[in-house]
């Protein structure tokens, strides 16, 4: 496995998510999984996002080979 991810130089974007608890709009960045809502102080989450194994052309180099093979076995295509 590599020390630094070669695919980590992606451009970060942001998105406004409506808090499901209090309807406050909360800005979440593409590299975040969760954030504390400033309105109700509850943790809100991004919808499930694909992991880097599904989009990064360097994923095979970075991950443990057994994880890569398991991904392939499930019928997933190699990233381009």
4-40 pLDDT per residue, tens: 666 666 677 888 989 999 999 999 887 787 899 999 9
Q: Give the DSSP letter of residue 77.
A: P
4 part of a folded domain: no
Claim to verify: residue 31 and residue 41 sit in the same structural domain? yes
Percent of the chain surpassing pLDDT 90: 25
Clarify whether residues 31 and 54 are in a common domain: no
| Claim to verify: residue 55 and residue 80 sit in the same structural domain | yes
* Number of domains into which the chain is organized: 2
d(CA 49, CA 32): 10
Domain that holds residue 24: 13-48
Distance CA 32, CA 58 (A): 21
| 66 falls within a domain | yes
The answer to whether residues 36 and 63 touch, using CB atoms and an 8 Å cutoff, is no
56 & 66 share domain: yes
C-alpha 36 chain-centroid distance: 17
In a domain, 59, yes or no: yes
User: CA–CA separation, 32 vs 35, rounded Å?
Assistant: 7
Give the predicted TM-score (pTM) of the model: 0.49
């Amino acid at each position: 496995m590599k020390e630094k991810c070669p695919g980590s130089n992606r451009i970060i974007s942001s998105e406004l998510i409506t808090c499901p608890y209090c309807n406050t709009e909360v800005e979440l960045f593409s590299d975040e999984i969760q954030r504390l809502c400033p309105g109700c102080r509850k943790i809100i989450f991004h919808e499930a996002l694909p992991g880097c194994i599904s989009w990064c052309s360097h994923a095979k180099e970075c991950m443990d080979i057994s994880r890569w093979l398991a991904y392939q076995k499930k019928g997933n295509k190699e990233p381009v």
